[in-house]
């Protein structure tokens, strides 16, 4: 195997099945100049066993590193960056539950080279669950609008991100104090430093849906915590209303829900639109709950 040009960093915490799916899709890519770094965030279940089994079967490809001092996905990603080969020119990030086709890395790196960009977000498709209900369908249809994130907000989610190592050398690693929104904060740093950002639709990452209300609410509570953390640590990123503003608790504007589901809105039935609107309101309140919990934790 040649020296790795690309290091694929996979953070994981207590998700053995998700990690198994991700690694199974990564071990036989159509390029050979890459490595995979699994960054375990102190898992307490069988996740380390899964990681070690893949490493033992492909020691030339896989590296396992543990980040147990700081609990958080951004700390794990930073540990992966530190463990990556010095020869790796490109750092790619996938979540431990996402999967890719065998030619994903080949497509992504070729697109990055052809465009001459330094920071690239891939297209994310949320898979349809066999028993998809309202929550799973909403999650799949609202999805990851990565193109809009890159174009309008200057960042790509870390579940589908490739960056050149020199970018990290310039702007630093992820802010591991954040539980959510660290990808946005990092992307804004990259953009301010003048690096070239791009979206690539032909390099696709497949992501499982959050199919239960508990899972989706948990995500939005975490987002809410991240909002308050960014307000405190990076106030230039958060200019919205505080929790004391009663408008924070009003139902969302119908136009905002329609905009979120614009690609499929006209094909939805009236009852489904109403249910999605109600779900969006619940998730907004979950964010407020996350903000409140974060503020209370600082007292």
Note the pLDDT of residue 299: 80
Note the pLDDT of residue 73: 96
Note the pLDDT of residue 241: 79
Note the pLDDT of residue 255: 94
Flag residues of the chain having pLDDT under 50. Answer: none
pTM recorded for the entire structure: 0.93
pLDDT digit string, tens, across residues 143-193: 889 999 999 999 999 999 999 999 999 999 999 999 999 999 999 999 999
Report the CATH number of the 6-133+143-207 domain. 3.90.550.10
> Are residues 53 and 23 in contact, defined by beta-carbon separation less than 8 angstroms?
no
Note the pLDDT of residue 3: 61
Domain range annotation of the chain:
6-133+143-207, 213-297
| Most distant CA atoms of the chain, gap in Å | 60
Note the pLDDT of residue 2: 55
Note the pLDDT of residue 56: 96
Question: In whole numbers, what is the pLDDT of the chain averaged over residues?
Answer: 94
């Amino acid at each position: 195997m040649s020296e790795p040009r690309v290091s694929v960093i996979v953070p994981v915490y207590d998700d053995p099945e998700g990690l198994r799916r991700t690694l199974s899709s990564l071990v036989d890519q159509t390029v050979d100049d890459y490595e995979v770094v699994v960054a375990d965030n102190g898992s307490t279940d069988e996740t380390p066993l899964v990681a070690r089994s893949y490493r033992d079967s492909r020691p030339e490809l896989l590296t396992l590193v543990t980040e147990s001092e700081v609990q958080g996905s951004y700390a794990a990603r930073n540990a992966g960056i530190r463990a990556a080969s010095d020869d790796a020119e490109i750092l790619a990030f996938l979540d431990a539950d996402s999967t890719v086709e065998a030619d994903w890395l080949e497509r992504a790196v070729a697109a990055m080279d052809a465009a001459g960009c330094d920071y690239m977000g891939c297209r994310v498709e949320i898979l349809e669950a066999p028993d998809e209900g309202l929550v799973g369908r909403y999650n799949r249809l609202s999805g990851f609008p990565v193109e809009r994130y890159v174009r309008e907000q200057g960042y790509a989610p870390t579940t589908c991100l490739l960056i050149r190592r020199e970018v990290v050398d310039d702007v630093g690693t992820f802010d591991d104090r954040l539980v959510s929104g660290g990808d946005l904060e990092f992307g804004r740093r990259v953009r301010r430093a003048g690096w070239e950002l791009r979206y690539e639709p032909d390099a696709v990452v497949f992501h499982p849906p959050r199919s239960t209300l508990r899972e989706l609410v948990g995500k939005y509570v975490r987002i809410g915590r991240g909002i308050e953390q960014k307000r405190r640590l990076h106030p230039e990123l958060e200019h919205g209303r505080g929790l004391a503003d009663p408008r924070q608790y009003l139902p969302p504007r119908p136009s905002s829900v329609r905009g979120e589901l614009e690609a499929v809105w006209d094909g939805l039935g009236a009852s489904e639109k109403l249910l999605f609107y109600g779900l969006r309101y619940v998730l907004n309140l979950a964010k407020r709950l996350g903000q409140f919990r974060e503020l209370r934790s600082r007292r």
